[in-house]
Amino acid sequence: MSTKRNVSTELQGITHLITDATLGITDLVEAMHKRVVHPPLLPSTPIQQLITNIASITFKNIRWSTRLISSGVNKALSQLTTVLGEMENTDKKEALQAVLNGVVGDYLEESKNPLTITMQFRHQAKAISLDSKSLEKAYPSINGKILLMVHGSCMNDIQWTRKEHNHGTTLADELHKTPIFLHYNSGRHISTNGQDFNKLLEKLVQNWPVPVEELVVIAHSMGGLVSRSAINYSQQQQKSWTGYLKKIIFLGTPHHGAPLEQAGNYLDVVLEAIPYAKPFARLGKIRSAGVTDLRYGNLLAEDWQDKDRFKMQGDNRQSISLPERVECYSIAGTVGEATKSAYSQLRGDNMVPVKSALGQHENPAKNLDFKQENTWIAHDTNHLDLLNNPEIYTKIKAWVA
């Protein structure tokens, strides 16, 4: 399905990004210039100081002209609003925006960039207002059995449909449930999204037009961490929505982190340790708070507050158990047929290791202890195949039913 978006607003957002990227690269080049002119551990001569001062004037002019041009472009774009009007958006554009938010979504939000995704519930790719009339209009045959789908990092609600299959809509049709999809900025901290998700869910069940009978959540990748975070905050604040939560199914959720983010952290450390490469270390720090939370699977604000998220450090997150009185299920994927080898276990679905997806940890305090019958490993399945593998759908359907 498609939605509409104001083109001039999108262009303004892109302009902001280009402006800040230009300024960031200028800072990088200037830092590298200083490293070359002033070698580490050696005293600087007057000539070297003069070269640096002259270059500094050039860099200042670049920054000044960049900001000036950006200001003029933004004013022009704002005046083009009525001319450009509304243009039909595409699923591809929505997917690109989701990736952009996943990579730098925290920055987009901090800079109030128009490209920022605001958390909302959607149906058929359209936002739903959380009042009874709007919900009834969106779902003419609404019932009290809610099936909630939560997407992963750098994705959106539309991408639950893969190769003409959608776990959520198919399950809803076959098991007579009402499907609703969460759409959120995956670049924000997982705990921040968890807190907002908690509030939205409370509002959803309070305004559901008919009595809520049950709430079932299916979460892919990061979506599982956001869901667990929301459940934890709900229990702390004694919200009512978790009383309706009956089952939650995790698909490739990195409960104990993802090696790729851990590798990114190593890259930061290596670059920081090399004097001439140190200016480039800031390039590794472009990834969002949401991505760095995936290093170990942070769920709470306490896991990252007052800490340098790019600094090499161990797994210091608080241990959060699976919710009580809720049936929890987990599916892991492996790209090969065998799962017993250490390499196959670590590689998993190319993104999440098998043990991480199944909540298994060498520290008993962090082990999630899924019931054995509530876990399953899908062979020849990568991270995105979890969304359309027919065997996985059959397993999910059996668990939900």
Q: Is 217 exposed, middle or buried (0-12, 13-18, 19+ CB in 10 A)?
A: buried
Domain that holds residue 54: 4-89
Looking at the fold, whether 251 and 153 belong to one and the same domain comes out as yes
86-98 residue pLDDT tens: 445 678 778 878 8
Q: Mean pLDDT across the stretch 273-280?
A: 55
Neighbour count for residue 82 (Cβ, 10 Å): 7
Q: Which carries the bigger pLDDT value, residue 12 or residue 109?
A: 109
Q: Which carries the bigger pLDDT value, residue 334 or residue 287?
A: 334
Domain count, the chain: 2
In a domain, 382, yes or no: yes
Give the type of residue at 34.
K
354-400 residue pLDDT tens: 999 999 999 998 999 999 999 999 999 999 999 999 999 999 999 99
Torsion angle of alpha carbons 48, 50, 51, 53, nearest 10°? 120
The two beta strands, 165-166 and 161-162, are: antiparallel
pLDDT band at 213 (very low <50, low <70, confident <90, very high): very high
Q: What is the share, in percent, of the chain residues with pLDDT greater than 90?
A: 53
Q: Please check the confidence at residue 123 and state whether its pLDDT lies above 60.
A: yes
In a domain, 137, yes or no: yes
15-61 residue pLDDT tens: 454 445 545 545 555 555 555 545 555 566 666 565 555 555 554 55
Q: What is the DSSP letter of 131?
A: S
Looking at the fold, whether 154 and 235 belong to one and the same domain comes out as yes
Q: Mean pLDDT across the stretch 144-173?
A: 96
Q: What is the pTM of this model?
A: 0.79
pLDDT reported for residue 79: 43
In a domain, 9, yes or no: yes
In a domain, 66, yes or no: yes
In a domain, 80, yes or no: yes
Q: State how far the Cα of 3 lies from the Cα of 14, in Å rounded to an integer.
A: 19
